[in-house]
Amino acid sequence: MAGLTAARELERTGVGVTVLEARQRPGGRILNHVFDDGVTVEVGGQWVGPTQNHVLGLIDELGLETFPSYDHGDYIVSIEGHVKRFSGDTFGLPPHVLLEAAVAQKRLERMAASVPLDQPWTAAKAPAWDGQTFESWLRGNLRLERTRQFFRLVTTAIFSAEASQLSLLHFLFYCRSGGMLDRLLGTAGGAQERRVVGGTQQVADALATDLRTMVRYDEPVRSISQGSAGCEVRTDAKTYDADGVVVAIPQHLIGAVHFDPPLPPRRRQLIQSVPMGAVIKCIARYDRPFWREEDLAGFAASLDHPVSLVFDNSPPDAACGLLLGFIEGGHARRASLLTTEARRELVVGCFIDLIGPRATDVVDYVDLDWAAEPWTGGCYGGHLGPGVWTQLGPELRRPFERVSWAGTETATEWNGYIDGAVASGLRAAHEQLSEPPGVQPSDP
């Protein structure tokens, strides 16, 4: 999405563009699955929501439509082995846990508000916050283990990484980047509010089709050379000349591209320090969304199951029922060892526990372990562990001579989301347009 958006923006200004795509399809972390009868569901990024104006604008421009995620009826929560219904924002938590969680959320959001999105390392308390994990903060600042568990679930839900892997500073940056916790976690009014008719991959497909030039698929870039005359970009098939290059891939994959001259040392170290999260997105198909008949929204959150989050992901016409389950963080790392068959059994077992016995009647199943995808290496996005923002943060967007860096990990707003990817593509395109190539030194 970042690369295609950059290409689109550059074409608009009359710049000739070639898009080199490693995969045989556009969209990166966005991917539709089409069932035998044509019903479509996303096995990659899917939701859009308010304030994500870059992607919402793009969807509109491309003539695509969105529809609200299904969100009627009660929710389900599983804590300490007990599965129960709840409604509203209580998560079925007892009042004293809710109170501690609310106070903690207020504190965290006050802290987050002090983190400059374009330079998180300049926050007044950056050294202390970047010196600890979010897990340490939870242990040091929350009294109730159940409140900690709740925040751990929130963390894997947002990052698909454990609280132990995240710098507290990164957690705070990300909160602010997405408009704070309620917006990140919410359906109506939040990041999960809307879906794209026909599946979100439509956006990438339409973007690719809309370009004047053809996207060159199955052409992973092997090397980028640059000098005063321009750049030379080599794939297995061909060598391309260019005035500049926008690199729009996950940070860790930058290490697989040979650069001549070599990447600056700090950049080379940054790309070693932005690992991807771990998530397996699992979808079970039913004849109809039976939970709606029981006044259930199809949403469940569990502290007890490897599938920690469940959503109703049925098509807009409810022609069938689709339950979406996320296996995230440490759970995903374990479930990654299972065969698809064993994973199906595991996931359906969770659906039965959480949504009810009628979840047994699965008619189809699909899942995707994003860590197994060579051109991604994990989802939802890359995260920064302790000590990285404060030591190497300035390298994230710093152009390397004629090379600009895009991808949702480089976004200031909605970092990690489709919207951040789109925004990063626009930013990189304008960088290419405004800065005379070869003028800005990479190491001032």
Region of 70-78, 109-117, 205-213, 257-265 interacting with a copy of itself (CB under 8 A): 257-265
For 136-158, give one letter per residue: b (16+ CB within 10 A) or e. Answer: ebbeeebebebbbbbbbbbbbbb
252 binds a copy of itself (CB under 8 A): yes
Please, which residue, 205 or 395, has the CB nearer to a copy of itself?
395
State which residue, 356 or 385, has the beta carbon closest to a copy of itself. Answer: 385
- The span from the CA of 347 to the CA of 353, in Å, is 10
Compare residues 222 and 288 and give the one whose CB is closer to a copy of itself. Answer: 222
| Binding span for a copy of itself by CB under 8 A among 54-62, 81-89, 136-144, 298-306 | 136-144
Per-residue interface string for the shown chain with a copy of itself, residues 386-405, x marking contact by CB under 8 A: xxx-xxx-------------
Running DSSP on this structure, what letter comes out for residue 316? T
To a copy of itself, the closest distance from the beta carbon of 163 in angstroms equals 8
Pairing of strands 403-405, 245-247: parallel
Q: How far is the CB of 263 from a copy of itself (least distance, A)?
A: 8
CB proximity list for 265: less than 8 A, separation 6 or greater: none
> From residue 262 to residue 301, what is the string marking binding to a copy of itself with x (rule CB under 8 A)?
xxxxx-xx-xxxxxx-x-----------------------
Cα 442 from chain centroid (whole Å):
28
Q: Which residues pair with 404 in a beta bridge?
A: 246
Interaction of residue 139 with a copy of itself, rule CB under 8 A: yes
Helix pair angle (201-210, 53-61), 10° resolution:
60
Asked if residue 429 lies in contact with residue 10, where contact means CB atoms within 8 angstroms, the answer is yes
Fill in the amino acid letter for 126: A
Asked if residue 164 binds a copy of itself (CB under 8 A), the reply is yes
Interacting positions 400-429 with a copy of itself (CB under 8 A)? none
- CB 430, CB 423: distance < 8 Å: no
Check if the beta carbon of residue 201 is closer than 8 Å to that of residue 209: no
- E-assigned strands of 303-440? 307-312, 321-328, 364-369, 403-405
Tokens representing 132 are 């600890």
Q: How many CB atoms lie within 10 A of CB 295?
A: 11
Instruction: Give the shortest CB-328-to-a copy of itself separation in angstroms.
Output: 12
Q: Which residue has the tokens 């939802």?
A: 380
User: Which positions from 329 through 368 interact with a copy of itself, judged by CB under 8 A?
Assistant: 329-330, 333, 336-337
Within 237-382, where are the H helices?
Answer: 251-254, 265-270, 290-293, 330-335, 340-355
CB of 385 to a copy of itself, least distance (A): 4
> Rule CB under 8 A: is residue 135 a binding residue for a copy of itself?
yes
315 or 329, CB closer to a copy of itself? 329
In the complex, the smallest distance separating the C-beta of residue 397 from a copy of itself, rounded to whole angstroms, is 16
Residues that bind a copy of itself (CB under 8 A): 130-133, 135-136, 139-140, 161-165, 252-253, 255-256, 258, 262-266, 268-269, 271-276, 278, 329-330, 333, 336-337, 369, 371-372, 374, 377-378, 385-388, 390-392, 443-444
